[in-house]
C-alpha cells in the first residue's frame, strides 16, 4: 500500500545546479541542505514518487523551471563527512548523521520559467509558501491544488 503522493518545491541556484544539469545527469543527490526544517521534510515526509517543482533561486528570473520527482529516500549526506567540502560538519557523527539527502530525478523542463512575479500575481496561487515574503526554505511542501495550477501555467502560453 502506498500512501497518497505528496508535492514539493525544491530550490537550487542554477549557477550551481540547474534543471539542465539535472536533465543531463538524470538524477542527483540533494546534498548540502543545512536547515533543520528542510532536512526534516526530506527525512520524515518524502517518499519515492513524490512530485517536485524545480525552482531556480538567485536567477534571472527566479521561478519554477521544471519538474522532478523523488527517486530515492533520505540517506546520509556525504558532504557532512568530507573535510574538503564547504558543507563539512565536524559535529556530525558517522553512526548518527545530522544531515540527509534524498535523490531526485529529472522529469521535464518547462518551455519557459514561471517567474516568481507570475506566481505571486496568480490568484489561484494565493498563499503558496514560496510566494510569501521572507520564505527561505529550500525544501517546502506544496498543496495539490497549487501544484496542479503550476502545471496549468506551464502548459499555457
Binding site for DNA (CB under 7 A): 11, 13, 34-37, 57-59, 62, 116-117, 133-138
The residue among 26 and 60 lying less far from DNA, judged by its C-beta, is: 60
- Shortest Cβ 80–DNA spacing (Å): 12
What DSSP character marks residue 129? G
Task: Rank residues 2 and 96 by Cβ distance to DNA and give the closer one.
Answer: 96
Dihedral, 22, 124, 151, 63 alpha carbons, nearest 10:
-30
Q: Kindly state the smallest distance separating residue 4's Cβ from DNA, in Å.
A: 26
**Cell representation of residue 141:** 511542501
Dihedral (CA of 117, 119, 122, 127) sign: negative
Does residue 110 have a cis peptide bond before it, meaning omega lies within 30 degrees of 0?
no
What are the grid coordinates assigned to 39, written together?
A: 532536512
Q: Are 81 and 94 in contact (CB under 8 A)?
A: yes
Nearer to DNA, 134 or 156 (CB): 134
Query: Between residues 49 and 82, which has the closer beta carbon with respect to DNA?
Result: 82
CB of 116 to DNA, least distance (A): 5
Amino acid at each position: 500500500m502506498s500512501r497518497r503522493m505528496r508535492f514539493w518545491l525544491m530550490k537550487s541556484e542554477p549557477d550551481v545546479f540547474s534543471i539542465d544539469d539535472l536533465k543531463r545527469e538524470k538524477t542527483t543527490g540533494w546534498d548540502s541542505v543545512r536547515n533543520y526544517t528542510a532536512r526534516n521534510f526530506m527525512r520524515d515526509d518524502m517518499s519515492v514518487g513524490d512530485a517536485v517543482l524545480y525552482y531556480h533561486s538567485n536567477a534571472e528570473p527566479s521561478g519554477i523551471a521544471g519538474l522532478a520527482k523523488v527517486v530515492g529516500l533520505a540517506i546520509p549526506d556525504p558532504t557532512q563527512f568530507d573535510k574538503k567540502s564547504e558543507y563539512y560538519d565536524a559535529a556530525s557523527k558517522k553512526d548518527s548523521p545530522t544531515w540527509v539527502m534524498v535523490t531526485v530525478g529529472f522529469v521535464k523542463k518547462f518551455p519557459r520559467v514561471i517567474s516568481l512575479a507570475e506566481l505571486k500575481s496568480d490568484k489561484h496561487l494565493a498563499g503558496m509558501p514560496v510566494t510569501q515574503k521572507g520564505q527561505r526554505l529550500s525544501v517546502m511542501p506544496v498543496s495539490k491544488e497549487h501544484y496542479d495550477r503550476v502545471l496549468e501555467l506551464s502548459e499555457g502560453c
